[in-house]
Amino acid sequence: MFRDRLLSSRKAVLAAALLALSGAGAKADLNKLEGDAGHAPASGLSALEGTQGHADAAPLAALALADGIACEAGAACMETATQLPLRVLPRPFSKLFRAAAADDAAVVSANMPAFHPMYVFERRGLDLTLPADPKGWYQVGRTRSEPEGWMQARDVLEWRQALLVSYTHPGGPLEGRNPVLMFNDRAALEAVVDDMDMAGKARTLYAEIKDGKSPDSIVSMEPQRFVDITRQFYVLPILQWSQLQIDGDDARLLQLAAAVPRSRGADTLENAEYRDQAQVGRSGASAALKDVKVDIVFVVDTTRSMQPFIDMTREAVANMAKSFTAETADRFRFGLVTFRDSIEVVPQLEHLTRNLTPELVSAEALVGLLDQEARATTVGSLDYAEEVFAGADVALRSNWRDGAFRFVILVGDASSHPKGHAQNTTGKDEVDLRREYDDAQVHLLAIHLQNPQAAEDHPLAIAQFSHLARVRGDESKSALEQVNAYDEADYRALVARVTGDINAKLNATLGIEPTTVATDAAAPLDSVASLWEAALIEYIGKEASPPKDIVAWALDRDLVNPADRALDVRVLVTREQLSTLAQSLDQVVQALMRAEVTQAQFFESLQSVSGQTMKRPEDIGAAARLADTGLLPAFIQSLPYRSDILALTDDMFASMTTEQRSQLEWSILAKLQQYRAINEQVDAWFRLNDADPDRDMVYPLHLDYLP
């Protein structure tokens, strides 16, 4: 019976996810501005993955004209291997002509927006044997519906696979990473990377820029402040790359273009205005801080042992409210989410999670909720673990105020059921949730109440809580506080310090002097200070502008501290592509469930459930791997990442334990839930061009979200 309920629960999660997705400078500076213009973009997976060492990425000139591009009259050209539309990026100062002839009388636009993607409808007379001087024409348009004119091959760069990169959270002003430097050409970047003192050479370049100079090898740089691609959309397409190793870690040399929708003008270091704003630090000096607001959502375990801690949390919030000034009281809003365990297993628990604040409330109202509504149950759970992940998931979807610092304070004494466990109701784990928290700019502080009698649970709980509480911008830090559950005084002091420190941080940010000074006050918590700094960096980053209208080379690691990632790879997807991917994964999950119940082979089950959606479902039976079935969107297979799901075979499935199969199912269901959340975020979808219809709006999907 429980197995039937579990399958029903999984299908319900799946159906909900699918339902939501189904609707739904000067001309003279041109050489420096464009970087290494002689390097035409590479294409294909081999070129994207590059080679070990510093071998050149495969040039486009090496490709024959029949290079996997199919063009049909009246439609945008498509890459046959990926089924993605072929796009080009106009170079600065390029022209759009009415016909495929360089006639000044037939110019439609004399200065196309640099590096704003254009769809290709026809390629005529293309000769790419000399990459520095390509011949021929591209018929292009801003939308897939119709072409607008012709551009010379020398004026555009082909962009395939829709790959781009985004800047990572840089961390704090003292311990954070250095901004990305953008080099004129590959050789200039390699001269730094190959130097025996790479860090020292990079520091010299940073020092020159700080002194107001523009090193000959540098085109531009990332701003010191953080520009979050999910909040301020920019485009950094990957034109080509190669791979190398630095201190044993994989790193990549990337040739990038840079564009910002609806913005024009080359942002080089020779542009004093851009250089000055890029050099503004992350220290927090910003006029925008006068409008800072803070949202805090408590996520509290309300199982049997938790009532004393709920009461002490109430006391801390009440004391926090008493310390508010007239200027800060209205800046705080609070939320409360409680969690227990799966009611499929123990119905007497009454509920799995409760969001007691559909709209965030004042501190006084939260005190009342903690007193009247957040009562611990008297019923015991089936095992020691609780559904922590379910509570964290609900809290993430709180009705946050626009522009507010967003904090979650998680309080619990047990680990969460891991992904794949029968009582894990979300299909997610700490890695899935932390990724979603980062994208939503929500920062979590975890308080783990440690019961000495449950010491065997502590390692798992600490690992889960620590990852959930990871400080954005510094993966070595975690905002995790650990307290002996038998020492209530320690918890009372800790929760008072947490709430007091947050209040003090807001006062300090606003420049408000404290009304009283406690001579015996404990030192501020590092956890609160680190989370506040990360949120502050995100907030003031709204005033920064990323570089645009350049082509340059960059390293995806910090040049001074290569262990720190500076750039993350993403792929642009449309809602249609996200929906198609979700539908394909739906069939994979159904096949996994069917094979488990009927004891059939995986591909036999997949062929059965896919019979009505594929033209040739019989081809599935002949496939060696899931990637070879033709079921998943073709563009997935062309991307530079490894996937256990795509590599799945009948033999691999047959060798899996029941638990491993369950974990695989839940992993896919977690992806579907993430797709649903992305689809529902209205402000997360962007237009590459103003003329793009809604169907062509894109989202910069992190590779970690792919199956």
Query: Bridge-partner residues for 355, per DSSP?
Result: 337
pLDDT tens digits for range 206-216 = 999 999 889 99
As a whole number of angstroms, the distance between CA 295 and CA 531 comes to 13
pLDDT at position 521 is 60
pLDDT band at residue 526, thresholds of 50, 70 and 90? very high
Considering the domain 288-542, what is its CATH architecture?
3-Layer(aba) Sandwich (3.40)
* CA-derived radius of gyration, the chain: 27
Residue pLDDT, tens place only, 664-699: 888 888 888 888 888 888 778 988 877 778 888 889
Dihedral sign computed on CA atoms, order 447, 451, 454, 456:
positive
What pLDDT, on a 0 to 100 scale, did the predictor assign at position 347?
Answer: 63
Q: State the pLDDT confidence band at 137, using cuts at 50, 70 and 90.
A: very high
How does residue 638 score in pLDDT terms, banded at 50, 70 and 90? Answer: low
Query: In the 8-state DSSP scheme, what is residue 189?
Result: H
Instruction: Judge whether residue 47 has pLDDT over 90.
Output: no
143 close to 74: Cβ distance less than 8 angstroms = no
Res. 707 pLDDT band, cuts 50 70 90: confident
Residue of higher predicted confidence among 172 and 619? 172
Does the pLDDT value for residue 518 go beyond 90? Answer: no
Dump pLDDT digits (tens) for 403-441: 899 999 999 988 998 887 778 888 889 999 999 999 899
Two tokens, residue 458: 């502590």
Can you tell me the distance from the alpha carbon of 33 to that of 26, in angstroms, rounded to the nearest whole number?
Answer: 9
C-alpha of 524 from chain center? 31
Measured distance CA(40)–CA(43) in Å, rounded: 10
Residue 61: predicted pLDDT: 33
Residue pair 243/251 in contact (Cβ under 8 Å)? The answer is yes
d(CA 215, CA 559): 16
| Per-residue pLDDT at 116 exceeds 70 | yes
* pLDDT for res 511: 82
pLDDT per residue as tens digits for the range 642-653: 666 777 778 888
At residue 46 the predicted structure's pLDDT band, cuts being 50, 70 and 90, is: very low
152-171 pLDDT, tens digit per residue, is 999 998 887 678 899 999 99
The length of the chain is 707
pTM score, whole prediction: 0.82
Domain ranges of the chain: 2-22+574-705, 42-159, 169-280+545-565, 288-542
With 50 as the cut, is the pLDDT of residue 42 above it?
no
* HSE-up (13 A, CA, CB side) for residue 694: 5
Q: Which of 34-43, 310-319, 513-522, 547-556 has the highest mean pLDDT?
A: 547-556
Q: Give residue 647's identity as a one-letter amino acid code.
A: A
pLDDT above 50 for 28: no
Label each residue of 659-685 as H, E or C: HHHHHHHHHHHHHHHHHHHHHHCHHHC
* Residue 377 clears pLDDT 80, i.e. is over it: no
pLDDT value of residue 239 = 85
What pLDDT was estimated at residue 425? 82
- What is the mean predicted confidence (pLDDT) over 301-311? 83
Average pLDDT, the chain: 81
Percent of the chain residues topping a pLDDT of 90: 37
> Burial letters for 262-299: b for 16+ Cβ neighbours within 10 Å, e otherwise?
eeeebbbbbbeebbebbbeebeeebeeeeebbbbbbbb
Give me the sign of the Cα torsion angle 552, 556, 557, 558: positive
Give me the pLDDT at residue 514, please: 65
pLDDT digits (tens, 9 = 90+) for 440-461: 999 999 999 998 888 999 999 9
Most confident of 33-47, 505-519, 534-548: 534-548
**∠565-569-570 over CA atoms, to 5°?**
140
Task: Find all residues with CB under 8 Å of 608, minimum gap 6, and list them.
Answer: 591, 594, 600
Please compute the mean of the pLDDT values over residues 168-179 and round it to a whole number.
Answer: 90
